[in-house]
Amino acid sequence: MIEILEEPVGETYRSMVSLAFDVCVEFILVKRDQISLNPNAEALLNQLKPYVKKKKRQDHWPGTNLFGHYADVYYLAAPKN
Protein backbone atom coordinates (compact mmCIF):
# COMPACT_ATOMS: atom_id res chain seq x y z
CA MET A 1 0.00 0.00 0.00
CA ILE A 2 1.19 3.52 -0.79
CA GLU A 3 0.91 6.10 1.97
CA ILE A 4 0.62 9.74 0.89
CA LEU A 5 1.88 11.97 3.68
CA GLU A 6 1.43 15.38 2.05
CA GLU A 7 -0.65 16.94 -0.71
CA PRO A 8 0.90 16.05 -4.08
CA VAL A 9 1.55 19.11 -6.26
CA GLY A 10 3.18 19.90 -9.58
CA GLU A 11 5.09 17.07 -11.24
CA THR A 12 4.26 14.71 -8.36
CA TYR A 13 0.54 15.16 -9.07
CA ARG A 14 1.04 14.69 -12.82
CA SER A 15 3.00 11.49 -12.12
CA MET A 16 0.16 10.18 -9.95
CA VAL A 17 -2.39 10.83 -12.70
CA SER A 18 -0.11 9.11 -15.22
CA LEU A 19 0.23 6.11 -12.90
CA ALA A 20 -3.55 5.97 -12.45
CA PHE A 21 -3.94 5.66 -16.24
CA ASP A 22 -1.45 2.77 -16.22
CA VAL A 23 -2.92 0.74 -13.35
CA CYS A 24 -6.63 1.64 -13.11
CA VAL A 25 -9.57 0.82 -15.33
CA GLU A 26 -11.28 3.96 -14.02
CA PHE A 27 -10.38 6.64 -11.48
CA ILE A 28 -11.87 9.89 -10.25
CA LEU A 29 -10.64 13.44 -9.84
CA VAL A 30 -12.64 15.78 -7.64
CA LYS A 31 -12.97 19.55 -8.01
CA ARG A 32 -14.46 20.95 -4.81
CA ASP A 33 -16.55 24.13 -5.16
CA GLN A 34 -14.93 25.89 -2.23
CA ILE A 35 -11.35 25.29 -3.46
CA SER A 36 -10.24 27.19 -6.56
CA LEU A 37 -7.80 25.70 -9.06
CA ASN A 38 -4.55 27.38 -9.99
CA PRO A 39 -3.72 27.83 -13.70
CA ASN A 40 -1.63 24.63 -13.80
CA ALA A 41 -4.50 22.58 -12.39
CA GLU A 42 -6.91 24.14 -14.89
CA ALA A 43 -4.50 23.22 -17.70
CA LEU A 44 -4.24 19.63 -16.47
CA LEU A 45 -8.02 19.32 -16.28
CA ASN A 46 -8.26 20.57 -19.88
CA GLN A 47 -5.63 18.03 -21.00
CA LEU A 48 -7.65 15.25 -19.36
CA LYS A 49 -10.96 16.16 -21.06
CA PRO A 50 -10.64 13.46 -23.76
CA TYR A 51 -10.50 10.80 -21.02
CA VAL A 52 -13.51 11.98 -19.00
CA LYS A 53 -16.26 9.35 -19.21
CA LYS A 54 -18.68 11.42 -17.16
CA LYS A 55 -18.80 14.39 -14.80
CA LYS A 56 -21.29 14.47 -11.93
CA ARG A 57 -22.22 16.97 -9.22
CA GLN A 58 -21.94 15.03 -5.99
CA ASP A 59 -21.71 15.51 -2.26
CA HIS A 60 -20.01 12.15 -1.71
CA TRP A 61 -17.45 9.81 -3.28
CA PRO A 62 -15.29 7.00 -1.83
CA GLY A 63 -13.76 8.19 1.42
CA THR A 64 -15.60 11.54 1.54
CA ASN A 65 -19.05 12.84 2.49
CA LEU A 66 -19.65 16.58 2.21
CA PHE A 67 -22.28 18.36 4.27
CA GLY A 68 -23.81 21.39 2.57
CA HIS A 69 -21.28 21.46 -0.26
CA TYR A 70 -20.91 19.83 -3.66
CA ALA A 71 -18.09 19.01 -6.01
CA ASP A 72 -17.57 18.10 -9.64
CA VAL A 73 -16.49 14.46 -9.75
CA TYR A 74 -14.73 13.52 -12.98
CA TYR A 75 -14.74 9.82 -13.87
CA LEU A 76 -11.74 9.11 -16.08
CA ALA A 77 -10.59 6.07 -18.04
CA ALA A 78 -7.43 5.40 -19.97
CA PRO A 79 -7.75 5.14 -23.75
CA LYS A 80 -8.18 1.62 -25.09
CA ASN A 81 -5.18 0.47 -27.11
Per-residue pLDDT reduced to its tens digit, 12-42: 988 999 999 999 999 999 999 988 998 988 9
Q: Beta strand pairing status for 64-65 and 71-76?
A: unpaired
Give the residue, 79 or 76, on which the prediction is more confident. Answer: 76
- Whole-prediction pTM value? 0.84
Q: Does residue 9 surpass a pLDDT of 90?
A: no
Query: Is 81 a residue whose pLDDT tops 70?
Result: no
Cβ atoms within 10 A of the Cβ of 76, count?
Answer: 20
Q: Domain residue spans in the chain?
A: 25-76
Give, in order, the Cα–Cα distances in Å from 79 to each of 26, 59, 71, 72. Answer: 10, 28, 25, 22
